[in-house]
Amino acid sequence: MRNRSTTMPGKMTHTDTDHVGGLTETRRKVFELVIKAGQPVGAYRLLEAMQDKGTRVMPPTVYRALNFLQGKGLVHRIESLNAFVACTQHEHEHEGQFLICSDCGKTEELADESVADMLRDKAQAHGFVLQQQTIELRGLCKDCASE
């Protein structure tokens, strides 16, 4: 697998998160590292990056920060990779769909509400109480498919 990257339609800045209550310095640092990674990144890589910058933190601190950021819609968890990516559409609540390249690992976020609504309706029709929707589609990105 080659280098991983995340398609991010715009760089997020500190001001993008000024409206987020409870964003402590540690949470902000974790969020900045997720953004800077530009690819799905695991908690232990974030922990190492924070320690490399001289910040002493323990794994539960990073996991709590990631849980907080996920709860605020600032990051998504890519279940199959056990990793996190910055939300590219954090200005509004949505269910995420992700295209993940099996070759290079490029991850692109989609937020197609019609897909989310259709699945929510189907679940409800079966009497299923949906708590979370994360769809991960694996295949080849345009670049890898053309090689």
- 3-state SS of the chain? CCCCCEECCCCCCHHHHCCCCCCCHHHHHHHHHHHHHCCCECHHHHHHHHHHCCCCCCHHHHHHHHHHHHHCCCEEEEHHHCEEEECCCCCCCCCEEEEEECCCCCEEEECCHHHHHHHHHHHHHCCCCCCCCEEEEEECCHHHHCC
Does residue 81 fall inside a structural domain?
yes
Global confidence as pTM: 0.79
Query: Is 1 part of a structural domain of the chain?
Result: no
pLDDT of residue 93: 73
pLDDT of residue 21: 74
In a domain, 94, yes or no: yes
Find the domain containing 99 and state its range: 6-145
- 95 located within any domain: yes
Condensed to tens digits (0 to 9), the pLDDT of residues 119-133 reads: 999 999 999 999 888
Average pLDDT over residues 51-75: 91
pLDDT in tens, 81-98: 999 999 987 776 778 899
Does residue 78 lie in a domain region?
yes
State the chain's mean pLDDT as an integer: 85
Domain CATH for 59: 1.10.10.10
Looking at the structure of the chain, the number of domains it has is: 1
| Residue 60: inside a domain | yes
